[in-house]
């Protein structure tokens, strides 16, 4: 059996109620309620553009934006081992989070951002590219954490951090997929690390992983 260790500290990249949600390159867009009727929240316009609001999305939109569907996030949240491991990692290290600025890459429903906020983070920047961010906004507000957590919609490679923040103390992310690398988020996390993580003192959760590989022979199934 072979093992592969990935150290996030040394790995190199291969290449409301409404509150403002930051968009690309410092621009701002209003985060209206998912039940709003504004044109910005519409489904598909006459030009065939994709919906920008989760509740207005059709199957066509979900094809291009699969992570906007709550079902995917429900499956992950129901994985108790995964969810509790992330929670315990933060709750058992509150001294590391107290008063710090945290960046959550691919926040989804905002679960890790809320863990970080409850662990004592002074500010959490939660970045999400898909339209699930509409629900994340409501969930965060329902938990009364919207004064700590700021949502930013867009690709990590295209956004700027809000509030004039140029460095963060901690990066959290659930970047691991099937067979560790399936979701291909590692490059994005490394990009964020190189651009925003405070040198020398910055931390990442998680910062390393181990992949076990074993060869098999499956001729009997092919025959």
Q: How far apart are the first and last CA of the chain?
A: 26
The lowest-confidence range among 47-56, 75-84, 211-220 is 47-56
Among 27, 29, 59, 31, residue whose Cα is nearest residue 43:
59
Structure tokens at 90: 């933060």
Integer Cα distance of 20 and 22 in angstroms: 6
Give the catalytic positions in this structure: 174, 183
User: Is 51 inside a domain boundary?
Assistant: no
8-state DSSP, 50:
P
Domain CATH for 172: 3.40.50.150
pLDDT tens per residue, range 187-201 = 899 999 999 999 999
Q: What is the pLDDT of residue 18?
A: 33
How far does CA 79 lie from the centroid of its chain? 17
Give the total number of structural domains in the chain.
1
Q: What is the pLDDT of residue 185?
A: 81
Instruction: Kindly give the pairing relationship between strand 149-153 and strand 28-30.
Output: unpaired
CA distances from 46 to 36, 39, 40, 222 (A): 19, 12, 13, 49
Sorting pLDDT into bands at 50, 70 and 90, what band is 33?
A: very low
User: Is 120 inside a domain boundary?
Assistant: yes
Query: Which has more pLDDT, 26 or 131?
Result: 131
Tell me: pLDDT of 99 over 70: yes
Instruction: Kindly give the pairing relationship between strand 170-173 and strand 203-205.
Output: parallel
The pLDDT of 9-20, averaged and rounded, is 40
What average pLDDT is seen over the chain?
76
Structure tokens at 92: 């058992």
User: Is 183 inside a domain boundary?
Assistant: yes
The pLDDT of 3-12, averaged and rounded, is 48
User: Is 43 inside a domain boundary?
Assistant: no
Residue 138: domain span: 2-32+59-222
Write down the residue that tokens 């315990």 correspond to.
Answer: 88
Tell me: pLDDT of 75 over 80: no
The pLDDT of 164-185, averaged and rounded, is 85
CB contact set of 93 (below 8 Å; sequence gap of 6+): 119
User: Is 137 inside a domain boundary?
Assistant: yes
Tell me: pLDDT of 62 over 60: no
Sorting pLDDT into bands at 50, 70 and 90, what band is 217?
A: confident
The pLDDT of 37-65, averaged and rounded, is 47
pLDDT tens per residue, range 137-167 = 999 999 999 999 999 999 999 999 999 999 9
């Amino acid at each position: 059996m072979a093992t592969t260790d990935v150290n996030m500290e040394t790995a190199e990249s291969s290449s409301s109620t409404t509150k403002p949600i930051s968009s690309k390159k410092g621009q701002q867009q209003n985060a209206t309620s998912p039940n709003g009727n504004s044109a910005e929240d519409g489904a598909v316009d006459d030009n065939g553009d994709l919906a920008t609001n989760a509740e207005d999305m059709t199957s066509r939109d979900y094809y291009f934006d699969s992570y906007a569907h709550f079902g995917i996030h429900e499956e992950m949240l129901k994985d108790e081992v995964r969810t509790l491991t992330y929670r315990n990692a933060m709750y058992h290290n509150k001294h590391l989070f107290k008063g710090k600025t945290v960046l959550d890459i691919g926040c989804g429903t905002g679960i890790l951002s809320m863990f970080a906020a409850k662990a004592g983070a002074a500010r959490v920047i939660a970045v999400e590219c898909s339209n699930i961010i509409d629900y994340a906004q409501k969930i965060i507000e329902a938990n009364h954490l919207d004064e700590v957590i700021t949502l930013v919609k867009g690709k990590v490679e295209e956004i700027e951090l809000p509030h004039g923040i140029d460095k963060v103390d901690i990066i959290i992310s659930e970047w691991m997929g099937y067979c560790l690398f399936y979701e291909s988020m590692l490059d994005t996390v490394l990009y964020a690390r190189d651009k925003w993580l405070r040198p020398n003192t910055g931390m990442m959760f998680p910062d390393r992983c181990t992949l076990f590989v074993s060869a098999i022979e499956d001729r009997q199934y092919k025959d």
